[in-house]
Amino acid sequence: MPDIAALAVFSMATLALLIVPGPAVVYIVTRSVAQGRTAGLVSVLGVHAGSVVHVVAAALGLSALLATSAPAFMVVKYLGAAYLVWLGVRKLLGRPGAEVGEPDVASSSRLFGEGFVVNVLNPKTAIFFLAFLPQFADPAAGALAPQIVLLGAIWIVLGMASDGTYVLIAASLAGRIRRSATARRRLDIGSGVIYLGLGAVAALTGEGRK
């Protein structure tokens, strides 16, 4: 297993990456503002169920395959970009709603499922498991798969803490937005534009890989 010093460095670097907003954070914050703390926390659970997929893939060597196979990398990259664009278009074209009344409420299963897909296809998470995490797995310290599982578990724990903090902050500031159809619509437009931008960035990620 990696030594304590290596794990500490990995944890600090991971936390620094996690607090930078990406597709998952945008999704979590949007849901927290629209539906409150519980919806945000369910979204976090879905996002990090998606993280488990990345951990398992890395432990089984699938991440190494993606890292060395340009076609496989391109498929994952464009699927993620397409999903982000779809989320953005759906937000931009959503029904503005009445000036009074409650916003559309997504079920817990939908919140969880969308969070799961967002992170499975999240280019930020994929690149972390492709390029960053393997640097902390030391062949001299034993079998690689258990090390990757341990590092992935640290990522998930820190990710849930970081994303949970975003939920609490967003939910605490969301009361006025939820009471105003105009503010909700502005939130949808803003998040839609961000999703489209993230989709464009995801589509261009790794263009230097040839």
Q: DSSP letters of 17-82?
A: HHTS--HHHHHHHHHHHHH-HHHHHHHHHHHHHHHHHHHHHHHHTHHHHHHH-HHHHHHHHHHHHH
State the residue for tokens 């931009």.
92
| Residue-range definition of the domain harbouring residue 132 | 4-204
**Cα 188–chain centre separation:** 18
Number of domains making up the chain: 1
Please report, in tens digits, the pLDDT of each residue of the chain (210 residues total). 667 888 888 898 888 888 888 888 988 988 888 888 999 999 999 999 999 999 988 888 766 665 566 676 677 667 767 777 877 787 778 655 444 444 557 899 999 999 999 898 887 787 788 777 877 877 777 787 888 899 999 999 999 999 999 999 988 877 666 655 666 667 677 777 876 776 676 666 555 444
In a domain, 127, yes or no: yes
In a domain, 92, yes or no: yes
Answer whether 15's CB lies under 8 Å from 145's CB.
no
**CA distance readout (Å), 48 to 55, 144, 164, 205:** 10, 22, 11, 22
In a domain, 121, yes or no: yes
In a domain, 210, yes or no: no
